[in-house]
Structure 1
């Protein structure tokens, strides 16, 4: 029995050592290269459907069409896709092609998903893209768990992007502020599929940049080559990307692109000569959603907002915005307009939040001092920054519409 116990103990120690080595290995090898997001890229869903899965032929076509980066699917939920291998990455690298992994996530197993993402990074990927869509709507706690675990495994500097819905205001419960917040993705690749959405290329750019710009991450437009879009639309997409100052453009997807689409996507076009700058969205009392969450987090970090972050723009948020406007020398309206957004984002960082599904007791109930001058029960912003917080009330709001699948309103 004693020998058995010794053996079991040794096995447990070996297992723990192996697990620790695996985590350390993720961090050691996941260096990445943020420049892989720059220039032109093509997304690959199934490697077997891209030049019969031959890395040499994939690289040859990518080079011929001016694609510096390929984005290859590496995982789905908590499952690793076997097609994303160190050998594939090495062979594409040898031909001068950057390789980014992309991973579709659901939120049902955020820790398992983070490990799959980190495994892709450890296999030599230059960057990672999180493909999060409708399954993550309302899942603030899961998103917080996922990005925290992912960053623990790959380190704080590994280049990560988010590919999500482009129309932020259609998805009030989607946790953009988590995926694009502190310690999370540092690049934003909105799925700007204009033909699927049913809007013009120009309108898609205007709306996407207006509503995504507040999150402060470089926007790298992801365009569509499926559904055989006209050449002129593909070229306009490229030109507007240059006009808005995008450092990179990528396309969905290799297996859907026609020859005409490939040629249009690879054609070099310059800017129209005018640098386009989208205004920030205007929010006022009655607004609700992740944009309000983002605003409240900024106001809280400066001590202007002392209540729980709810994602609902009510009188307390109006008062906080008005107080900030006074301090910033802006007209005191209580409305979060474009000039106020500009000043707020420049002056304050968002309050770091660790979202939890279960409520926590208010700070004053645990003996934590409240902010001077505030009514009893309002949590001091600096203290709240170190506390877990219940998911915002706006996380229960339904999506206005899935713009990528017209008619699938919720």
Structure 2
């Protein structure tokens, strides 16, 4: 479970550095998990961070490790992260790879080596934190080496794109940014995605409470496995502008209703149906068209008003019912 999550970087900047207070406030705010982040694996074992692990666990909050990695010594970084997970019983570790990692020679191989070694050393789940987009949505010019993402997501259990919207600060801009990021990541991997949303000012943008809400609602509709926010210290610093209250208002994993799967197989009943990367009607998310009679084992069902969607084993979505018309039989 990741669910409703948030990064914690500078423990001393959160509720006066009182670990019991941090855990209590996160629990009261409905957070299911927290990522304890460090800018370097060498300094991860800061005593305040270690103390916070116990407090979070006592509060029933999933505790996840996280650190920036740089790729020059992938084996050393893997062993250090695995030792942290093993020593403190962390359920997962998130590797944050950015410009310095991308710039090392054979960075795709470094990503593979890092995660494979970690897998050998620890049973904790692997998260890969990377850029929201690897190419320009308009020109398709390359911004970041997509080979790194491919190599990492071949091994990682879930991906965490840094969707810190900066195409504008309003809700629509936040949604547009999330949609493009989701599309680019889905072109590379079908593994669970946990978007990281903006809860801070900087890097070309500022955050408004209404944009937090719109972003959250959008990525949940896309099929996010959880939603994380950067970061607790920033959100608290912006409390007077409503940022912290906006995060509190988001539902926890326990509050989200899991719809039961009412059927096992989907069978296309119309001539052909669009097969999509996400459960929504937007033309650019179409993968292909499935012909009448094709069957697929159902993994998940979602309902949105008069629309019903079925996710089948080949990792995509088809509309079961649209505007009241049944398109696919569920058996």
**TM-score normalised by the shorter chain: which range applies?**
0.5 to 0.7
TM-score, structure 1 normalization: 0.54
Superposition map of 1:112-127 within 5 A? 112-122=76-86, 123-127=88-92
1:102 aligns with 2:66: yes
TM-superposed CA distance for 1:147, in Å, is 1.2
Work out whether residues 121 and 127 of structure 1, in 8 Å CA contact, stay in contact via their aligned partners in 2. yes
Determine which structure has the larger helix proportion and give its number. Answer: 1
Which of 194, 197, 201 is residue 220 of structure 1 equivalent to? Answer: 194
TM-score, structure 2 normalization: 0.66
2:165 corresponds to which residue? 194
What are the Cα deviations for residues 366-408 of structure 1, in whole angstroms up to 9, with x where unaligned? Answer: xxxxxxxxxxxxxxxxxxxxxxxxxxxxxxxxxxxxxxxxxxx
1:147 corresponds to which residue? 115
SS at match of 2:161: coil
1:134 corresponds to which residue? 99
Instruction: Indicate how the Cα distance of structure 1 residues 70 and 276 shifts in structure 2: closer, same or farther if over 3 A, else same.
Output: same
SS at match of 1:40: strand
Distance 1:231 1:101 in 2: 27
1:204 aligns with 2:177: yes
Work out whether residues 78 and 112 of structure 1, in 8 Å CA contact, stay in contact via their aligned partners in 2. no
Work out whether residues 74 and 120 of structure 1, in 8 Å CA contact, stay in contact via their aligned partners in 2. no
2:13 corresponds to which residue? 49
Which of 209, 212, 221 is residue 231 of structure 1 equivalent to? Answer: 209
SS at match of 1:235: helix
SS at match of 2:166: helix
Instruction: Indicate how the Cα distance of structure 1 residues 108 and 196 shifts in structure 2: closer, same or farther if over 3 A, else same.
Output: farther
TM-superposed CA distance for 1:277, in Å, is 6.8
1:265 corresponds to which residue? 247
Superposition map of 1:6-405 within 5 A? 35=1, 37=2, 39-74=3-38, 76-83=40-47, 87-122=51-86, 123-137=88-102, 138-155=106-123, 158-169=124-135, 170-172=143-145, 175-181=148-154, 184-195=155-166, 200-214=173-187, 215-227=189-201, 228-257=206-235, 258-259=238-239, 260-268=242-250, 275-276=279-280, 279=284, 346=314
What are the Cα deviations for residues 64-118 of structure 1, in whole angstroms up to 9, with x where unaligned? Answer: 2211211112561555442475543122211222211111000011111111211
TM-superposed CA distance for 1:53, in Å, is 2.2
Distance 1:140 1:54 in 2: 40
TM-superposed CA distance for 1:280, in Å, is 6.0
Instruction: Indicate how the Cα distance of structure 1 residues 78 and 114 shifts in structure 2: closer, same or farther if over 3 A, else same.
Output: farther
What are the Cα deviations for residues 2-35 of structure 1, in whole angstroms up to 9, with x where unaligned? Answer: xxxxxxxxxxxxxxxxxxxxxxxxxxxxxxxxx1
Aligned length: 243
Distance 1:61 1:212 in 2: 33
Distance 2:230 2:180 in 1: 20
Distance 2:126 2:191 in 1: 11
Instruction: Indicate how the Cα distance of structure 1 residues 127 and 204 shifts in structure 2: closer, same or farther if over 3 A, else same.
Output: same
2:322 corresponds to which residue? none
Determine which structure has the larger strand proportion and give its number. Answer: 2
RMSD of the TM alignment (CA)? 2.8
Instruction: Indicate how the Cα distance of structure 1 residues 76 and 174 shifts in structure 2: closer, same or farther if over 3 A, else same.
Output: farther
Structure 1: gaps spanning 5 or more residues: 1-34, 283-344, 348-410
SS at match of 1:42: strand
Distance 2:35 2:4 in 1: 11
TM-superposed CA distance for 1:236, in Å, is 0.3
